[in-house]
Structure 1
Amino acid sequence: MEPRPLWLHPHRLQVPRLALRHRLSALKGGVSRPAAWRHRPISFLCYILSVSTLRPLACRVALYRSFPTRLLSRAWGRLNGVELPTWLRKPIYSLYIWTFGVNMQEAAVEDLHHYRNLGEFFRRRLKPAVRPLCASSCLTSPADGRILHFGRVKNSEVEQVKGVTYSLEHFLGPQKRRCKDSSSSSSFRDDLLSSPDSDLFHVVIYLAPGDYHCFHSPTDWRVELRRHFPGSLMSVNPGVARWIKELFCLNERVVLTGQWQQGFFSLTAVGATNVGSIRIYFDQELQTNTPRYSKGSFHDHSYIADQTVKFAGEGGVALQKGESVGEFNLGSTIVLLFEAPKDFSFNLQPGQRIRVGEGLGSL
């Protein structure tokens, strides 16, 4: 009997296997067993691109930004509106539930045959009792998702993800300057504050595709202005957000600004791939992801004494804590920017999961 070749010997086969395991462990940065890829399709895409031949970051970003994400999002929106045959609904929705870990026990209607199309399934409502409001917190979460970042706003810059920032002025757009003695030398951040005893804080919440897609009012406040920024519709997944500086400023977004009991307050719904449709319930005029737009442009709509907007009054649209405000067509990001006393403290941890109505912090 001929001797077995060395390269087929079982002990020889173990060496490359072990080397491969060590190499993969190094790529993971020493992190223990990761979550299943089926729950992180965008992360899987990021991983594939990172080990591809397009190693330079600039090449990866340029390639990704060249994708027609707005066109794809409009096509996806039309596909979402196509009514599915009754027999096909359960298999398709079950696949989505399995892929993204959707908890249908919280849905107001658990029967999958009830949802005529993907759009209705994405925008499913929840049972009233599953999202109780935290009465002890002055500020609650506006959406289900994951906390990406939170804290004080420093140097008029806000963190997108750890180590990657964006300009506050670029994100919100120009604001009316307050009457201050030092207004000529004050920063954009300072111009938003109504009191020298206050500070500016922010919270970034990422909504994954499997999350509840509606967002709610985080506190009692009045919305005075809606500012719509047409723009790109790139993914806001944290893996992509690490690549592209000022991603939140490049993407389409709807900024609602106004006042709460402590001063300035804003809630921004940031669009993403397949989330070209951002809906604000009390504003029927808002149209997002239109075929044509001017780069860098924005459109303002004042709610002060606006008779065309439901619930608008002398001071704008009054919202109560927990009230439904709007919805995304899939998952995306909510950014809160608000004025509060300097001793305001967050009750959060980076990366934690949070749900509508849970407390964000306290005075």
Structure 2
Amino acid sequence: MKPRRWRERLLLQEDLNFLLTNRVPRLLLTRWMGWYSQIRSPWLTRLSIAVWRLFTELDLSDAKQSSFTSLHDCFVRELLPGARTFDADPAVLASPCDAIVGACGAVAGTQVFQAKGFPYALTELFGGSELAETYRDGCYVTLRLQSSMYHRFHAPHDCHVEHVSYISGDTWNVNPIALRRVERLFCRNERAVIRCRLSPDGPPIALVPVAAILVASIRLHFLNVLLHLKYRGPNQIPCAADFSKGQEMGWFQHGSTIIVFAPRGFRLCEGIVPGQPLRAGQRLMLRP
């Protein structure tokens, strides 16, 4: 096939993907998915999982359960003991989740990228300039959870959670096609900014789970509320929760993205490049 025709076909496929996953009533579809996923019916769940597998490489071989009574149970499935091992090196910040690495590298002042040519400001993502200054010239990694992946996320290091900022928003798809077309996408979508400090009295880090279309909720185990599109506050939530490295912190009800930020002096581990698949617990960043 001639290069020009190949590029035209690729653009047509991208246009169709963007149309089907974004030019729809996103908020309504997301709320509907939240309702549908909670229906407890073994036969409907088996049928839904079979359809799901037509579009994704869903692997349930390491799941603790062998059958599910609802799609929600499958989305937030636990794994067999030992299925994920966290790097024990205290100098290592581990990946909090299974993911595909997206944009990553050095923070340029207080600006980072969601995709090549699509920058966004930390001030807008975090909802304030004070926290953005904490990560000036720091380090970041975008971790994209595909819908078929394990959806729980864990502490990347021994840490103390100090504060959560919940920012309601849209539910754009966060796949690479949308990231190349929608400016400041992460700043538009629903998200939670989790402020942590490495124990004891160590440097700060921030985890930013970003929701997307069909993601009906973000569950954080240290909060007694479920963060979702109908949540009405409070939006600034002081916390005091301690986690050991690898301890579960919460989950998405579907796939989405977690962006990890560390201050100046941290650097990416070898092999952390866009497109690299990771499992929770693998090496992500190195402390100074």
Scaled by the length of structure 1, the TM-score of the pair is 0.71
Q: Is the 8 A contact 2:217 2:226 kept in 1?
A: no
Amino acid at match of 1:92: S
Q: Hey, what's the Cα distance between the residues in 1 that align with 2:70 and 2:31?
A: 16
Q: Hey, what's the Cα distance between the residues in 1 that align with 2:17 and 2:57?
A: 24
Q: Report how many aligned residue pairs link the two structures.
A: 283
169, 173, 182: which is aligned to 1:235?
Answer: 173
2:134 aligned with 1:192: yes
Q: 1:123 to 1:286 in 2, by over 3 A?
A: closer
Tell me the equivalent position of 2:26: 69
Runs of 4+ in 1 over 6 A off after TM superposition: 63-66
Structure 1 residue 162, shift from structure 2 partner: 2.1
Greater gyration radius: 1
2:37 aligned with 1:27: no
Amino acid at match of 2:15: Y
Structure 1 residue 68, shift from structure 2 partner: 2.9
Q: Is the 8 A contact 2:190 2:212 kept in 1?
A: yes
Structure 1 residue 122, shift from structure 2 partner: 1.1
277, 290, 296: which is aligned to 2:230?
Answer: 290
Structure 1 residue 45, shift from structure 2 partner: 6.3
2:212 aligned with 1:272: yes
Q: CA RMSD in A?
A: 2.7
Amino acid at match of 2:237: H
| Residue segments in structure 1 that go unaligned for 5+ positions in a row | 1-17, 30-42, 51-59, 177-187, 304-315
Q: Hey, what's the Cα distance between the residues in 1 that align with 2:142 and 2:44?
A: 37
Tell me the equivalent position of 2:196: 258
Q: 1:83 to 1:156 in 2, by over 3 A?
A: same
Q: Hey, what's the Cα distance between the residues in 1 that align with 2:160 and 2:137?
A: 19
Tell me the equivalent position of 2:16: 48
105, 108, 114: which is aligned to 1:160?
Answer: 114
Equivalent positions of 1:303-318 (< 5 A) are 303=239, 316-318=240-242
Tell me the equivalent position of 1:346: 269
Structure 1 residue 330, shift from structure 2 partner: 0.6
Q: Hey, what's the Cα distance between the residues in 1 that align with 2:127 and 2:213?
A: 22
Q: 1:64 to 1:360 in 2, by over 3 A?
A: closer
> Any idea what SS the aligned residue of 1:104 has?
coil
Tell me the equivalent position of 1:206: 144
Q: CA offsets, 1:93-117, max 9 Å, x none?
A: 233234211111111122x3xx111
Q: Hey, what's the Cα distance between the residues in 2 that align with 1:323 and 1:153?
A: 27
Structure 1 residue 247, shift from structure 2 partner: 0.5
Q: CA offsets, 1:162-186, max 9 Å, x none?
A: 221111001112255xxxxxxxxxx
Scaled by the length of structure 2, the TM-score of the pair is 0.88
Q: Which has the higher contact order (CA 8 A, sep 6+)?
A: 2
